[in-house]
Amino acid sequence: MNQELVFLRDIQPPLPLPEEPVYMVYFLAIVAIILIAALVYWLFRRKNKAVRFPAAHETALAALSRARQTMSVEQGVQYATDVSGILRKYIEERFCIQASRQTTREFFDSITERTDRGTDIFSREHRSRLKECLRECDMAKFARCTPDIQSMEKMESAVRDFIEETHGYREGGK
């Protein structure tokens, strides 16, 4: 062998063995992942919870308060139309009675028919106040008889009283 080709190498130090894994780090990483997943799940569930819609009487009373801003002799016809619409929508939502697509006479005929069948929803006093209020609204809407402020306040009072008195009824309502 050629002396020049063979050359000696010095002894190498021993290779370090890998240290034992630190199990505490792995444990904490897993716990952190679980906590993050639980937090994301909780936020997702919380976000998808059912939304509470306002009750029919709350919506109607708020709309009645907004309509009060248009209470003036110049806008009397519009005010009467709005109040009639609010009342009819409340009756539809609260008592599941088709009211907005019926004339006042058809509406009261359907109420009378229900009363005759024994499913009386409104008291006699409520029916008479409803009839008077809707008659006043119809006079303003269709006969263009502009109501005065006192008549409009009476309409609003009748509708507000009706809503407040009937929002707790159990029969047929929500």
How far is CA 2 from each of CA 8, 9, 102, rounded to the nearest angstrom? 13, 16, 118
Structure confidence at residue 39 as a pLDDT band (50, 70, 90): very high
| pLDDT greater than 80 at residue 90 | yes
* Higher local confidence (pLDDT), 96 or 27: 27
Q: Quick one: pLDDT at residue 158?
A: 85
Mean pLDDT of 58-75: 87
- Select the more confidently predicted residue: 138 or 32: 32
pLDDT on residue 128: 81
For residue 51, give the 3-state DSSP assignment: coil
Which has the closest alpha carbon to 94: 127, 57, 133? 57
User: Residues 60-85, buried b or exposed e (16+ Cβ, 10 A)?
Assistant: bbebbeebeeebeeebbbebbbbbbb
pLDDT tens profile 111-149? 777 666 666 677 788 888 888 888 888 888 887 788 888
Q: How many CB atoms lie within 10 A of CB 121?
A: 19
* Predicted confidence band of residue 172 (pLDDT cuts 50, 70, 90): very low
Mean per-residue pLDDT, 29-41: 95
Mean pLDDT computed over every residue of the chain: 80
The torsion region of residue 15 among left (phi > 0), alpha (psi -120 to 50) and beta comes to beta
Cβ proximity of 80 and 136 under 8 Å = yes
CA–CA gap between residue 96 and residue 89 (Å, rounded): 10
**Higher-pLDDT residue of 102, 114:** 102
DSSP tag of 171: T
Q: Which of these, 55, 78, 54, lies nearest to 66 by C-alpha position?
A: 78
Considering just the CA atoms, what is the radius of gyration of the chain in Å?
38
Is the pTM higher than 0.85?
no
pLDDT interval class at 31 (50, 70, 90): very high
